[in-house]
Amino acid sequence: MPIRILPDNVVSAIAAGEVIERPESVVKELVENSIDASARRILISIEGGGRKLIEVTDNGMGIPIDEVPLAVERYATSKLETEQDLFHIDTLGFRGEALTSIGAVSRMELITRSEGEELGTRLAVAGGQISAPQPIGAPPGTRVVVRELFFNLPARLKFLKSEATERHRIQALIARYAIAYPHISFRLMQEGREGFYSTGSGDRREVLAACYGLETAKSLIHLPEMEETAIRVSGFISPPSVHRGTRREITFFVQGRWIQDPSLAAAVIQAYHGLLMVGRYPLAVILLQTPPDFIDVNVHPTKAEIRFKDPSLVFRTVQRAVRGVLLGQAPAAQFHFESSWRPANLPPSSAIDPGWAMAEAMQPDLPPVRAQSSLPQANMPLLRAVGQVGAAYLVAEGPDGLYLIDQHAAHERVLFERMMSDFVNGKLESQQLLGPQTVELTHREAEMIEGNLTLIRSLGFEVEPFGKNVFRLRGVPAVLSKIDPEQSLRVLVEDIGEDEAPLASEFEARIIARVCKRAAVKSGQVLSSEEQRKLIRDLEACTSPRSCPHGRPTMIHLSVDALERQFGRRG
């Protein structure tokens, strides 16, 4: 084919594709426009996961009548004038592309009334065709209605994820904006149901409760505003006891703009060094304010990535702020097996039984060392219970030395194997509650329960939907009968959405592992000699006794040989 200039409609489809990738992108652009227009209330309605309808209504400053046709032109913006302005951007938008792009790939309707004007204006764009603006009665503010997204791009439609995935993403997006803008009230309606609401009271912790649930929000540690360098850091971080299976809950805002930056997430994770288990991540909301010329936002059409002038300064500032607060609030309680056990003129660590490597497995950031790696595979030797230390570990003697057993991890393993086999045989027992109990969850948690009702019931939960995000509980799995029924249901929704579609069988195992974690004896619980012996017997009967369902070791081993070396009886 000869070289030629692309026709306008192809150019605009290509350009639109960069900005509008999926329903979530439409919502993002429209909400950003509302925020830029100083709205105090933003209502977002979604149908069909955003494919059928996305409607964003705000009470912001609106667009003056004579500027309405310009608003839907490409590269038309009220937020930027000169090239220099690009380095002092204080609005979320500035590229003047969003409305054009949305209009190019949907049937869009814009109704807006500027503050000082009597009448509003209505303008429609369908697949890039702009209609003539008409006067219309409207409240002050702006409403954009987007129907049939990608109706003219069937190929793009095919790449969209499920409606449920889009709904989750949109919900997460609105939650993020609500956190960044606590003074704005956000209401998200998904398929006619309220999916998110923030009051706009300005209280950020209140917004966090709407996002993460009351209990988690209460536990979050406030990061007081710190200004050591030119960068101001504030926000909320989780205490070491609250963690997640992914780093996705580490959120950053720079000048009120949500950004994705893996290296900043690493700064937060490093700050938790020694405080979290391998594979667990904190939850954090970090707000940064930098001098305007410290960042370059103009890196990517979706504006989700930015460049810092001095990335390592930002990294250090974030890490120091988080670490400082953590150490002040949560002194690291760790066992240092090596230093407390090893005598002063110690042999080099290579001379120590590899079983001691297990102690290090408890320290995060090192690759997880499985018990199997230093102990023979398969079952464990028969052990004689000797006693308990620190109300957390059982001491036992085996044919080849000393074993320390983590009572919580061991019990988790025992319960897990039992529950899995009962589950497979359809024999999981349920314990009736004295009276039915209602439990209120967040919208997201409720969706998760509703989507897995059959599985959840087969685990022994007698649960039924009971109004919006509310469930009625009549029975719980027998192993959970000792904990509060509401808590037992919450066990299921902890850390949900860690991955979008785990294999069905893994999903069951994961949920059962969670239940067992809650049901297992805690460390700190004193066990009678009878209980200690029983736990050791039960563990011996397990198929994989050496690790807990989450992969942590249940036991560490010190061989007679290593003992002799440690006491200097052997070279």
CB nearer to Mg ion: give 79 or 323. 79
- Rounded-to-integer distance, Cα 385 and Cα 406, Å: 13
Please state the closest distance from residue 142 (CB atom) to ligand ADP, in A.
4
Rounded to 10°, the helix 311-329/262-271 angle is 30
For residue 384, the surrounding DSSP H or E stretch is strand 384-389
Given 13, 20, 99, 153, the residue binding ligand ADP (CB under 6 A): 99
Please state the closest distance from residue 199 (CB atom) to ligand ADP, in A.
21
Work out whether 98 is an interface residue with Mg ion (CB under 5 A): yes
Secondary structure of 509-564 as H, E, C letters: HHHHHHHHHHHCCCCCCCCCHHHHHHHHHHHHCCCCCCECCCCCECEEEECHHHHH
**For residues 110-129, which are near Mg ion according to CB under 5 A?**
none
Please state the closest distance from residue 141 (CB atom) to ligand ADP, in A.
7
- Rounded-to-integer distance, Cα 291 and Cα 273, Å: 30
Work out whether 41 is an interface residue with ligand ADP (CB under 6 A): no
Work out whether 94 is an interface residue with ligand ADP (CB under 6 A): yes
CB nearer to ligand ADP: give 26 or 237. 26
Of residues 524, 217, 318, 532, the one with CA closest to residue 404: 532
The full length of the chain comes to 571
Given 28, 95, 113, 167, the residue binding ligand ADP (CB under 6 A): 95
SS3 239: coil
CB nearer to ligand ADP: give 65 or 448. 65
Please state the closest distance from residue 366 (CB atom) to ligand ADP, in A.
46
Work out whether 545 is an interface residue with Mg ion (CB under 5 A): no
Given 33, 185, 290, 442, the residue binding Mg ion (CB under 5 A): 33
CB nearer to Mg ion: give 79 or 309. 79
Please answer whether residues 200 and 213 qualify as being in contact, where contact means their C-beta atoms are separated by less than 8 angstroms.
no
Per-residue x/- marks for Mg ion, 56-85, CB under 5 A? Answer: ------------------------------
Per-residue x/- marks for ligand ADP, 63-82, CB under 6 A? Answer: x-------x----xxxx---
Please state the closest distance from residue 33 (CB atom) to ligand ADP, in A.
3
CB nearer to ligand ADP: give 37 or 419. 37
Given 58, 163, 249, 261, the residue binding ligand ADP (CB under 6 A): 58
Work out whether 182 is an interface residue with ligand ADP (CB under 6 A): no
62 contact choice in ligand ADP, Mg ion, none (CB below 5 to 8 Å, kind-dependent): ligand ADP
Work out whether 61 is an interface residue with ligand ADP (CB under 6 A): yes
Question: Residue number with the shortest CB distance to ligand ADP?
Answer: 93
- Rounded-to-integer distance, Cα 493 and Cα 215, Å: 13
Which window, 60-68, 120-128, 131-139, 412-420, contacts ligand ADP (CB under 6 A)? 60-68
- The sign one gets for the Cα dihedral 61, 62, 64, 67 is positive
Given 46, 53, 89, 98, the residue binding ligand ADP (CB under 6 A): 98
- Rounded-to-integer distance, Cα 300 and Cα 292, Å: 18
Please answer whether residues 439 and 468 qualify as being in contact, where contact means their C-beta atoms are separated by less than 8 angstroms.
no
Local structure of residue 356 (DSSP, 8 states): G
Given 26, 37, 283, 405, the residue binding ligand ADP (CB under 6 A): 37
Q: Around Cβ 163, how many Cβ atoms within 10 Å?
A: 18
Rounded to 10°, the helix 443-451/163-180 angle is 160
CB nearer to ligand ADP: give 58 or 445. 58
- Rounded-to-integer distance, Cα 188 and Cα 50, Å: 12
Strands (E), 180-231: 185-190, 193-197, 221-226
CB nearer to Mg ion: give 106 or 319. 106
Q: Around Cβ 388, how many Cβ atoms within 10 Å?
A: 19
Strand order in the sheet with 555-558: 384-389, 393-398, 401-406, 555-558
Residue owning tokens 């490409």 = 74
Given 23, 49, 93, 240, the residue binding Mg ion (CB under 5 A): 93
Residues near Mg ion, by CB under 5 A: 33, 93, 98
Residues near ligand ADP, by CB under 6 A: 29, 33-34, 37, 58, 60-63, 71, 76-79, 93-100, 142
